[in-house]
Structure 1
């Protein structure tokens, strides 16, 4: 595959981009997770929380309107209550999944950014 652009796909749990690796040559079609952590999260009860985060994010985005943004912390607070801090990374992952589904985009400083590589504070808006 040298000299060519490597194929990519999105992690089904966190939405990060997975880039093809030589060790996955035989089973690239079965690769679904970017890490062991995402594989464990998919098999745990956390997937119910992930679904709730996505639903809440969609509801907040709908209520806010097309050109307005929300912060993942708003979603984490709405779902997690007092323990919302633990849900910050799962809320960011929910935002990445919505980007992959074409329902949202992630911005920083008002500009759309790649959700797989965004570091620091992000905002989410409806597409």
Structure 2
């Protein structure tokens, strides 16, 4: 396990939440079980990764096979049909998970941004 120096102690590297795809920084309260920590919050633990989430990931990748960039809402529309708006945030989470897997990049104004801190609309492109 990789570690980084913080102050006078060595702490393990950050992880990515398996549900939302955001970066989780090491916390002292997780010291005893950092290797088992998979979720950043109780909400992410409850939500998990559903079959719809997996379908959104697959749809993002298939849409990127036909276009250089897409919006998360493009995948939500393709999966959700007329009721696509409920899938907008799940599509953003799917994009963040794909970033963590090294499959795609998230951009704003043409520049790659950190998916854990990106606010507002963003585009998705294949990783370069």
- With the length of structure 2 as denominator, give the TM-score of the two structures: 0.89
Query: Structure 1: how far apart are the matches of 2:80 and 2:63?
Result: 15
Instruction: Give how far 1:28 is off.
Output: 0.6
Instruction: Give how far 1:38 is off.
Output: 1.0
Q: Is residue 2:39 matched to residue 1:33? A: yes
* Unmatched 5+ stretches in structure 2: none
Q: Is residue 2:58 matched to residue 1:55? A: yes
Superimposed CA distance per residue, residues 64-115 of structure 1 (whole angstroms, 9 cap, x where no aligned partner): 1xxx210000000111112111111110011011111111000000000000
Query: Structure 2: how far apart are the matches of 1:101 and 1:40?
Result: 22
Q: Tell me, what secondary structure is at the counterpart of 1:106?
A: strand
Instruction: Give how far 1:35 is off.
Output: 1.1
Tell me which residue corresponds to 1:113. 113
- Give the 4+ runs in structure 1 shifted more than 6 A: none
Over aligned residue pairs, what C-alpha RMSD do you find? Answer: 1.5
Tell me which residue corresponds to 2:18. 12
- By relative contact order (CA 8 Å, sep 6+), the higher-ranking structure is 1
Query: Structure 1: how far apart are the matches of 2:15 and 2:103?
Result: 17
Tell me which residue corresponds to 1:81. 81
Query: Structure 2: how far apart are the matches of 1:99 and 1:86?
Result: 22
Superimposed CA distance per residue, residues 50-75 of structure 1 (whole angstroms, 9 cap, x where no aligned partner): 010001001001111xxx21000000
* Unmatched 5+ stretches in structure 1: none
Higher strand share: 2
Superimposed CA distance per residue, residues 23-56 of structure 1 (whole angstroms, 9 cap, x where no aligned partner): 10101111000111111111xxx61000100010
